[in-house]
Structure 1
C-alpha cells in the first residue's frame, strides 16, 4: 500500500525549493527593477543635460573651427548695412587725410591779392578754410563709402577672413595673429588693406594730398569680452570633445530608454527633456545677447555692427538648438501616438478605418495590391521599423539639419506609413474576399 506513494514522498522538498526560489525572485525582482529604473533615470537626466552641450560642442568644433564654414558664415557681413557703416567710419578715421584748410586758403588769398584782388575779397577767401576742410572730408567719405559698398570690399573681407581664420580660432583657443587679432579679450580686424585701396582711389580722383597718407595699422573692433580667457579654455575642451560627445550622448540616451521599465514613456520623457534643455539655452542666449549689447565697451564703435557679428556667429548654434527642440517634440508626439491612451487609439483606429475603406473601394473597382499587399500585411511591423530606421539614418547623415529638415523627414515618414497602411489594407481586403468566396465545408463529409 505504501509503495505507490513512495515515488511521491521525495517530491515535497523540490516543491518547497521551487516556492523558495520563486519567493527569492519576488524579493529580488523589486530590487532589480528599482536599480534599473534608477540607472535609467540617471542616464535620461544626463542625456537631457548633454544634448545642448553636445550641440554647442558641434558648433565650436564644426562651425567656428572650420575654415570653409566660418568664411561662408562671415561672408554675408560684408554687405550688412551696420557693418558697412561701421567700416566706413573706421576707414575714414584711418585714412585721416590731413589737409590744413587755413594754410591752403591763406596761400590762395595771398596769391590772388598779389594779382590785384582787393583785401576784403582776399579775407573772404581765407574764411573758406572750414568749408574746404569739410569738402575734403566729404570727398574721403564718398570714396570710402563707394569702396566699402562695392565688390572690392566684399572680396577683401572674405579673403581676410579666410587667410586669418587660424587667428579667429585662437580667439577661442589662444592668442591671435594676422589680419584678425586677439588682445586682452578684444577681437579686431585690421583695415589697413582697405585704407591702401581707398588711398589710391583718392589720388586717382585728384586729391593729391592723399598720397602722403602714412602706412596705417588701424583696427576695427569685432568683439570684446572680459571673459574671453575663460571662453578659450572651454572652447579648447569642447574642441577635444567634439569628435565623440554627440554619439556618446545618443548612446547614453538609448541605454536610459532600454533600461526603463516603460520604454515608450522613457523615450518621450528623454525627448521632451532634451528639447526643454535646448529651450533653456536659447533663452540664455537671448539674455546674453541683450546683456552684451547693453554693456558694450568703448572699443566697440557700433552697436548695430556688434549685434550683426553676434547674430552671425551664433546663427548655426541657434538653428541647431531649434532643430533639437522640434525633433524632441516630434519624437515625444510619436511615442505618445503609439501608446495605449484613448486619443492615440482613436487616431490609429480612424486611420485604419480610412485605409480599409479606401482599400475596399479600390478592390471593388478592380484596383488590387495582389501578393504585395498580402506580404505587407504579414510584415507590416518590420516594414514600419525599417522605415523609422532609414529616416533616422538619413537625419543622422544630413549635413547640419534644420527644423525644416525634421518636418520634411516627418512628412516623408508619414507618407510611407500611409502607403504601407493602404497596401496592408489591400492585402486584408483580398484575404477577406478569398474567405468570402470560398465554398463552405461539409460538416458531414
Structure 2
C-alpha cells in the first residue's frame, strides 16, 4: 500500500473513531446507568434532599389532598396553607426518604416497561404514599379532622404518551450500542494510528478529535437540558425538572470532561515526545569538524 493510501485510510479511521466516541459515551451511559435499576436508584436517591424536588412533591401532595377534602370556600385557603406546611415539614423526615425511594423505584419500573414494551400510557409518579404518611403524622399530632383526610391518587407526570414512541426507538438503539460502540471506537482509533505513515501525527489527530467530540457531547447535554425544560407544561416545576435532569446526566457530563482531558493530554503527549525525540537526534549527531586555519605564507 502506498503512503498516500495509508494516510487516507488512517484519516478515515480516525475521523470515524472521533465521531463515534461521544455516541459511545452516550450509549454506555444509557445502558449501564439509566438502564440499570440499582445504579439508577443510587443516583436518584439524593434527590429526596433537593429543595426543588421536595417543594414539587409538597405541592403535588397538597393538591391531591385538597381535591379530596371538603371545606367551605372561606376555609379553603388557610386549610391549604396548613396542609402544605405540614407536607413540607414531612419532606424533611427520614420517613419521606423511604416513601420517595418506593415511589421513585415504581416510576422507574413503569418507565422501563414503557420503553421496552409497547405500552403507550402516560407514565406517572404516584405520591399517594407521601399523602398517607402526612395523614398519619397529622393524626399523631392531634390535628382536628386529620383522620378524615381521604388518601387518593396524587400523581406527577413523568413521561407523556406522545413522547414514548420517539424515546423508545432511541433507547433501543442505545441499549444495543452500549457495549459494541465503545469497543468499535477504540478499535478504529488504534487501527488508524497503526496504519498511519506518521504515527505521532495520527495520535495528535486522534487526541484532538476526541477532545472535540467530548466538547460537542457536553454542549449537547446542555442544549438537551434547555430543550427539556422549555417543553414542559406550565404546571410542572422547572426547578425540580432541572434538578432531576442534572442528576441523571451528571455521569454523562463527567465522562465528557474526562474525554476532553484525555484527548488533549494524548495530543499534548504526542507533541512533547516528538519534540524530545527531535532534540535527542540533534544532540546525538556527529560533532562538527573544526575548520583548518589557513597556512600563512611568509614574505
TM class by smaller structure: 0.7 to 0.9
Aligned to 1:151: 94
Shift of residue 163, structure 1, vs aligned partner:
5.0
User: CA separation in 2, counterparts of 1:294 and 1:245?
Assistant: 31
- Answer yes or no: is the 8 Å Cα contact 2:121–2:160 preserved in 1: no
1:98 is the counterpart of 2:62: no
Shift of residue 316, structure 1, vs aligned partner:
0.7
Length-normalised TM-score, structure 2: 0.84
Shift of residue 312, structure 1, vs aligned partner:
1.0
User: CA separation in 2, counterparts of 1:292 and 1:162?
Assistant: 22
Residue segments in structure 2 that go unaligned for 5+ positions in a row: 284-299
Aligned to 1:44: 14
Shift of residue 235, structure 1, vs aligned partner:
1.1
Pick from 219, 223, 230: which aligns with 1:294? 230
Per-residue CA deviations over 1:155-191 (Å, capped at 9, x if unaligned) read 2212333355332324544467xxxxx735xx42110
User: CA separation in 2, counterparts of 1:161 and 1:215?
Assistant: 19
1:252-401 paired onto structure 2 within 5 Å: 252-298=188-234, 300-340=235-275
User: CA separation in 1, counterparts of 2:118 and 2:110?
Assistant: 7
- The runs of at least 4 consecutive aligned structure 1 residues that moved more than 6 Å come to none
User: CA separation in 2, counterparts of 1:174 and 1:278?
Assistant: 32
Aligned to 2:79: 136
- Answer yes or no: is the 8 Å Cα contact 2:64–2:152 preserved in 1: yes
- Answer yes or no: is the 8 Å Cα contact 1:222–1:309 preserved in 2: no
Q: How many residues align?
A: 281
Aligned to 2:35: 65
Aligned to 2:126: 190
User: CA separation in 1, counterparts of 2:106 and 2:159?
Assistant: 19
- Answer yes or no: is the 8 Å Cα contact 1:140–1:202 preserved in 2: no
- Answer yes or no: is the 8 Å Cα contact 2:125–2:156 preserved in 1: yes
User: CA separation in 1, counterparts of 2:166 and 2:278?
Assistant: 53
Per-residue CA deviations over 1:191-239 (Å, capped at 9, x if unaligned) read 0111111122223333453433334122113455954422211211211
- Answer yes or no: is the 8 Å Cα contact 1:257–1:263 preserved in 2: yes
- Answer yes or no: is the 8 Å Cα contact 1:99–1:209 preserved in 2: no
User: CA separation in 1, counterparts of 2:82 and 2:158?
Assistant: 26
Shift of residue 35, structure 1, vs aligned partner:
2.3
In terms of Rg, which structure is larger? 1
Residue segments in structure 1 that go unaligned for 5+ positions in a row: 1-30, 103-129, 177-181, 353-445
Q: Which has the higher contact order (CA 8 A, sep 6+)?
A: 2
Per-residue CA deviations over 1:229-258 (Å, capped at 9, x if unaligned) read 222112112112222221221111100110
Change over 3 Å in CA distance of 1:225–1:53 after alignment to 2: farther
User: CA separation in 1, counterparts of 2:161 and 2:215?
Assistant: 25
- Answer yes or no: is the 8 Å Cα contact 1:199–1:213 preserved in 2: yes
Length-normalised TM-score, structure 1: 0.58
- Answer yes or no: is the 8 Å Cα contact 1:267–1:332 preserved in 2: yes
- Answer yes or no: is the 8 Å Cα contact 2:107–2:125 preserved in 1: no
- Answer yes or no: is the 8 Å Cα contact 2:18–2:210 preserved in 1: yes
Per-residue CA deviations over 1:408-434 (Å, capped at 9, x if unaligned) read xxxxxxxxxxxxxxxxxxxxxxxxxxx
Change over 3 Å in CA distance of 1:171–1:149 after alignment to 2: farther
User: CA separation in 2, counterparts of 1:225 and 1:54?
Assistant: 28
User: CA separation in 1, counterparts of 2:114 and 2:266?
Assistant: 37
- Answer yes or no: is the 8 Å Cα contact 1:224–1:297 preserved in 2: no
Q: Secondary structure at the match of 1:183?
A: coil
Per-residue CA deviations over 1:138-170 (Å, capped at 9, x if unaligned) read 331222111112111112212333355332324
Aligned to 2:103: 160
